[in-house]
Structure 1
């Protein structure tokens, strides 16, 4: 087979001279001087650098923002309840109502303290959610502790309204404590 055969499928296209159709590649000569460095390997993510937050970690951050929203609703509810009880204590028609007296026994101070605690817990959740992009392993551990304490508080004192908090807190602890959470919070920062 030669390039002169017009029916040769391995020859140059018709109308071109050999050597002009494609650039010729020179064989590589062994280099002189210093040896080449080995390729750089990434430490996390199986050799793939983590450019975007993993889905499970992002979901944990969204769940923290949901907890912040629920805390704001709880603060408003406690404050409204405290104001209503304080106002109703002076109403003479409710002095004989035993159900109201049980409700008034809590006192406005305890209700205000619960509102302040709910506000502080919501601010803490917001700070953790904001720190997910830049935080290191300390944010991860703090979020794990936050999730565990929130799950316990959702079970005991606030059983009915705390059920949503408990589920969200368990999911947050699982997502942040998993392999993706560990890789995200321990990633190298440049």
Structure 2
């Protein structure tokens, strides 16, 4: 008696070979192996990648570059403050400017205060560099600190330095938005290896 081709799954089965067609009697039901494979578990961030995104999102990279640009502007501002302090110190001794009322108003402002403002501007730039450097390894605290930094920088760019601070304001708003987006949140809240 012939059973046909032994490799044909639709032909008559020989001697009850398990694994072809429907499960045999006595074989447990609901085990993998029949139908489609089971899906992997769903991850909260990163589109199924374990632990979140593996590469820094484009918006976060842009925010990092903008922080470096803000730091560069801060260094330029600190240099201008220090040069202004030096110029006022030298001009206080000029007898031609003793009668100039506008200069005397400026000279009444302490050169030490101008130097102090220069140091404060330089420290604000150092904070921008620190935050930018920490984007690769920092957690959610760096994200929140960067957002607060961006908001404060935008406000300071609007009020005292309207024309000069316009670039600061725009960059700070963009930094805050890019870091605050959901892909920025996923980046800063990812699991670190």
TM-score under structure 1 length normalisation: 0.78
Q: Which position in structure 1 is the counterpart of 2:81?
A: 78
Deviations 1:119-152 (A, max 9, x none): 1101111100000000000000000100111111
Q: What's the CA shift for 1:105? A: 2.3
Q: What's the CA shift for 1:41? A: 4.0
1:140-179 superposed matches below 5 A? 140-179=143-182
Q: Which position in structure 1 is the counterpart of 2:101?
A: 98
Q: Distance in 2 between matches of 1:186 and 1:84?
A: 49
Deviations 1:131-179 (A, max 9, x none): 0000000000000100111111111122221111111111111000011
Q: Distance in 1 between matches of 2:57 and 2:119?
A: 34
Q: Which position in structure 2 is the counterpart of 1:65?
A: 68
1:2-151 superposed matches below 5 A? 39-48=40-49, 49-151=52-154
Q: Distance in 1 between matches of 2:54 and 2:155?
A: 34
Q: What's the CA shift for 1:39? A: 2.8
Partner secondary structure for residue 149 of structure 2: helix
Deviations 1:23-45 (A, max 9, x none): xxxx978999xx77963543312
Q: Which position in structure 2 is the counterpart of 1:182?
A: 185
Q: Distance in 1 between matches of 2:41 and 2:19?
A: 23
Unaligned segments of structure 2, at least 5 residues: 1-17, 33-37
Q: What's the CA shift for 1:186? A: 0.7
Partner secondary structure for residue 117 of structure 2: helix
Q: Which position in structure 1 is the counterpart of 2:9?
A: none
TM-score under structure 2 length normalisation: 0.76
Runs of 4+ in 1 over 4 A off after TM superposition: 27-32, 35-38
Q: What's the CA shift for 1:78? A: 0.2
RMSD: 2.3
51-60 vs 155-164, greater mean Cα deviation: 155-164
